[in-house]
Amino acid sequence: MKHSSTKSLILLFVFAFLSTAYLAFGAKESQPFEAKLFADGVQRADVKVDSYSFEPNHIVVVVNKPVKFTLKSVTKIIPHNFTINYPEAGLNVDQDISPGKEAKITFTPTKTGSYEFYCNKKGIFRSHQKRGMKGILEVR
């Protein structure tokens, strides 16, 4: 009897470890983040800008309602940028963000779909976009 409960305890620990590892791994995947629709009809989201990422990097908005993003740089030296370029869908932004500063952008998506945004800065060897500084704007 004692032996079998030790076995169950070990199994429990293994299970707990595996689920923790699974959660930690899963957290790296981009979870769709829905911009909040305020009473004034504007959808807002804060986007953390780092080297070399946007967080969140999958943002969901509703079509035909204005969107305001506050882009908050947390870098010390490296300047970044937020570009989304689909004029046919109302998406036409090219905004630089100085290190440690904030920039606000406003646009109104006019077509549903998934659109890529990215940083248009170039490093010495690779563009920031190639280093993973990109994301998806999902217009529903």
The Cα 133–Cα 15 span in angstroms is 35
What ranges in 45-118 are assigned the alpha helix state H? none
Which residues, in sequence order, are bridge partners of residue 129?
Answer: none
Nearer to Cu ion, 34 or 96 (CB): 96
Q: Which of 117, 118, 121, 139 binds Cu ion (CB under 5 A)?
A: 121
Site residue total, Cu ion (CB under 5 A): 5
Taking CB under 5 A as the rule, does residue 134 contact Cu ion? no
- 67: part of which helix (H) or strand (E)? strand 67-73
The residue type of 62 is V
Within 41-80, the residues that bind Cu ion by CB under 5 A are 80
Q: Which of 53, 56, 67, 128 binds Cu ion (CB under 5 A)?
A: 128
Contact positions toward Cu ion, by CB under 5 A?
Answer: 80, 119, 121, 128, 133
